[in-house]
A and B are shown apart, each in its own frame.
Chain A
Amino acid sequence: MFKKGLAANFTSPHELIKAARQVHKQGIKHFDVFTPYPIHGLDEAMDIKSSHIPWFSLIFGLIGAAAGLYFQWWTSVADWKLNIGGKPHFALPAFIPVTFECGVLFAAFATFIALFYFCKLPKFESIFEKDTHALKATDDQFMIFIEASDAAFNEHRLREIFNKHHAENIRWVE
């Protein structure tokens, strides 16, 4: 995903958000912020769009429910009719529970798969693997990474932003 770029660590979420906002204002598109927990307000500072996952959940949930209902109709009415206690072959009220469960099951699988699709996971190699400072971003520190190939990349200006917000270990990662 990421190739080569400039990274800086932060210890305070306050400084991090300010720096992220500044970086975004520079017009940089290919950058990301790494945090041990999701910080409220950071996505606005970085201008990240809402996720599309809910659409997948909804559509697949509906498909699942429809498929469940259709399958019950097909097995009980079309493929092999069985008279059980004189109950109607197409007993809609009795089909609701299984229809609902199928909808939930499909929605859950769709959400699960969509999450990894949008996060571009699983992915077992990363430029951050060897960088000891980057590993702190899953523990206690925050990191901003800006890809060098970005059109608005200006090392001097970025270092200025990082220094202004008390960043630590400003370095190149590749």
Chain B
Amino acid sequence: MNVQTIEKIELVLGKKDRKTITELISKPLDCFPSKKWFLLFSFTASIATLGFLCIGWTIYKGIGVWGNNNPVGWAFDITNFVFWIGIGHAGTLISAILFLFRQRWRTAINRAAEAMTIFAVMCAGIFPLIHVGRPWFAYWLFPLPNEMKIWVNFRSPLLWDVFAVSTYFIVSFLFWYIGLIPDLATLRDRTTNPIKKVAYSILSLGWRSSQRSWKQYETAYLIFAAISTPLVLSVHSIVSFDFATSIIPGWHTTIFPPYFVAGAIFGGFAMVLLLLVATRKVFQWEDFITITHLENMNKVLLTAGMLVGYAYSVEFFTAWYSANDYEFFAFKNRAFGPYAWTYWTMIFCNVLSPQLFWFKRFRTSIPVMIVVAILVTIGMWFERFVIIVTSLHRDFLPSSWGMYTPTIFDFGILAGSLGLFFTLYLIFVRLLPAVSMSEIKGVMPGAHPKGEVNDV
């Protein structure tokens, strides 16, 4: 058989053997956290606590402490919700879609990205919960038999969201856990600490890395990738239905599902990039989270940035071409109305800043990618703000126009969710291997006697 190989990329640098890989990856789990870690942890945990205080105050006083008011009933809360759900999507893209496309460079980054997905969905889940105003009735969102005898409204996109997000969380968690099992077994077999031994034994469920089990494992992993792929596309499509099925100008557009999915991948990749650049530096993992990995991610960022840029322009074009006054006004108002600065921040961060990545010099420069990733994260937050707030604040009747100003509690809860996210990530890198050992061993040179057929 004639096998064509395309430019072979070294995924693990520096002629390492398998033992070194195990040791390098489990090193952060063996030693006591450094002073820097504690400093960082206390910083992020304090911000998270601040967020929880703001949430507590919101629950005590009611959501009147936020800036939301007629006509802007959705503001920071839903912006943050969509922002976090979107960030989560990059993890599933890396773990599932890149797996189906046989992109073997994903092995070094998928564990951290999947963990990020889970933490991002946790952060996202907070916002609808507190936005309902009386979170102790949040169980009304689920179709449970109750004394009022009525059921939830399955014809509402908000309910689809409940199903989509909870399914997404459960499936991502199971997928992540399946990926962890072989590594937990490795940790169990090498640890000498009796407490850790018990913990790892329980978590690894007695996995013995037998080939007969690997066969089942690989099949199950493939199926998880195959069902996660349509799932992740469905989740952000359903999130976009929250807007697209309404009649508000600026929301009522058919482009929303693909546009939201592209935006989610874009914002999420920026966050993965930020986390990995820091993680590889701190733990000295430059040899398997290589510059090639980061460059590939920057290429994805560039592509996704162009996709959202295209969506912005198509939206504008369609608004004009539809000859619908309200629709076109909504877009003119976005670009030149009172919130124009948010629109242009979004354009600058999301469309212009990734253009740097056309040049290899910038794609492979760590400082440049950190700056661009931060800009993209900010830009993607503003994208959701622009969609939500500018569409609501001026819709049909000028008599019902208004302005939205966030309060300190809005900012506090946003900062708190960032704090919570980074706190969870900091705990994660200390408790579980942030790079998949078994997958890295499988992409090392000479790992497979038959050679890699689909080696890209």
**Residues of A that sit less than 8 Å from B by CB:** 13-14, 17, 32-43, 46, 48, 50-51, 53-54, 57, 61, 71-72, 75-76, 79-80, 82, 84, 87, 91, 94-95, 97-98, 100-102, 104-105, 107-109, 111-112, 114-116, 118-119, 121-126, 128, 135-140
B211 touches which of A43, A53, A126 (Cβ 8 Å): A43
CA distance A100 to B227 in the complex (A): 11
Counting CB contacts under 8 A, is B208 at the interface? yes
Contacts of B452 in A (CB 8 A): 40
Contact A54 B167 (CB under 8 A): no
Contact B234 A100 (CB under 8 A): yes
CA distance A114 to B442 in the complex (A): 24
Whether A41 touches B209, Cβ cut-off 8 Å, given contacts A76-B155, A105-B167, is no
Contact B215 A43 (CB under 8 A): yes
Counting CB contacts under 8 A, is B218 at the interface? yes
Counting CB contacts under 8 A, is B170 at the interface? yes
Whether A37 touches B149, Cβ cut-off 8 Å, given contacts A48-B212, A138-B185, is no
CA distance A118 to B216 in the complex (A): 7
Chain B: minimal CB distance from A159 (Å): 21
Give residues of chain B (422-456) contacting chain A, Cβ–Cβ below 8 Å: 437-439, 441-442, 446-450, 452
CA distance A76 to B448 in the complex (A): 55
CA distance A121 to B164 in the complex (A): 30
Chain A's closest residue to B143 (CB) is A75
Contact B164 A112 (CB under 8 A): no
Chain B's closest residue to A102 (CB) is B163
Chain B: minimal CB distance from A8 (Å): 15
Partner-binding segment picked from B14-22, B50-58, B378-386, B396-404: B14-22
A38 touches which of B211, B230, B449 (Cβ 8 Å): B211
Chain B's closest residue to A40 (CB) is B448
B171 touches which of A34, A95, A108 (Cβ 8 Å): A108
Chain B: minimal CB distance from A9 (Å): 13
19 pairs, CB–CB < 8 Å, chain A vs chain B: A13-B449, A32-B210, A33-B210, A37-B442, A40-B448, A48-B211, A50-B219, A51-B220, A72-B154, A91-B154, A101-B234, A105-B170, A107-B223, A108-B175, A111-B227, A119-B212, A123-B206, A135-B189, A140-B19
The 8 closest A-B pairs by CB, nearest first: A140-B18, A122-B205, A75-B151, A51-B219, A37-B442, A123-B206, A115-B220, A135-B189
Interface SS of chain B: helix
Chain B: minimal CB distance from A35 (Å): 6
Whether A51 touches B438, Cβ cut-off 8 Å, given contacts A76-B155, A139-B190, is no
A36 touches which of B157, B163, B441 (Cβ 8 Å): B441
Whether A41 touches B19, Cβ cut-off 8 Å, given contacts A94-B155, A126-B206, is no
Chain A's closest residue to B159 (CB) is A98
Counting CB contacts under 8 A, is B186 at the interface? yes
Chain B: minimal CB distance from A17 (Å): 5
Contacts of B171 in A (CB 8 A): 104-105, 108
Whether A139 touches B223, Cβ cut-off 8 Å, given contacts A17-B449, A108-B170, is no
Counting CB contacts under 8 A, is B182 at the interface? yes
**B interface bracket (residues with beta carbon within 8 Å of A):** 35 or more
Contacts of A116 in B (CB 8 A): 205
Contacts of A137 in B (CB 8 A): 208-209
Contacts of B234 in A (CB 8 A): 97, 100-101, 104
B215 touches which of A51, A61, A72, A136 (Cβ 8 Å): A51
Contact A119 B201 (CB under 8 A): no
CA distance A107 to B230 in the complex (A): 13
Chain A's closest residue to B150 (CB) is A80
Counting CB contacts under 8 A, is B153 at the interface? yes
Whether A51 touches B216, Cβ cut-off 8 Å, given contacts A36-B18, A84-B155, A102-B163, is yes
Contact A115 B216 (CB under 8 A): yes
Chain B's closest residue to A120 (CB) is B213
Contacts of B213 in A (CB 8 A): 119, 121
Chain A's closest residue to B154 (CB) is A72
Counting CB contacts under 8 A, is B207 at the interface? yes
Contacts of A125 in B (CB 8 A): 206
B143, B156, B159, B171 pick with most chain A CB within 10 angstroms: B171
Contact B227 A36 (CB under 8 A): no
Counting CB contacts under 8 A, is B224 at the interface? yes
Chain B: minimal CB distance from A70 (Å): 12
Contacts of A118 in B (CB 8 A): 216
CA distance A161 to B401 in the complex (A): 84
CA distance A107 to B170 in the complex (A): 12
Besides A32-B212, A101-B163, 15 other A-B contacts (C-beta < 8 A): A35-B211, A36-B186, A37-B441, A39-B449, A40-B452, A51-B219, A80-B151, A82-B150, A94-B154, A97-B157, A101-B231, A111-B224, A135-B190, A138-B208, A140-B17
Contact A13 B18 (CB under 8 A): no
Contact A115 B153 (CB under 8 A): no
Whether A112 touches B178, Cβ cut-off 8 Å, given contacts A34-B210, A94-B155, A140-B18, is yes
B206 touches which of A36, A54, A75, A124 (Cβ 8 Å): A124
B190, B231, B439 pick with most chain A CB within 10 angstroms: B231
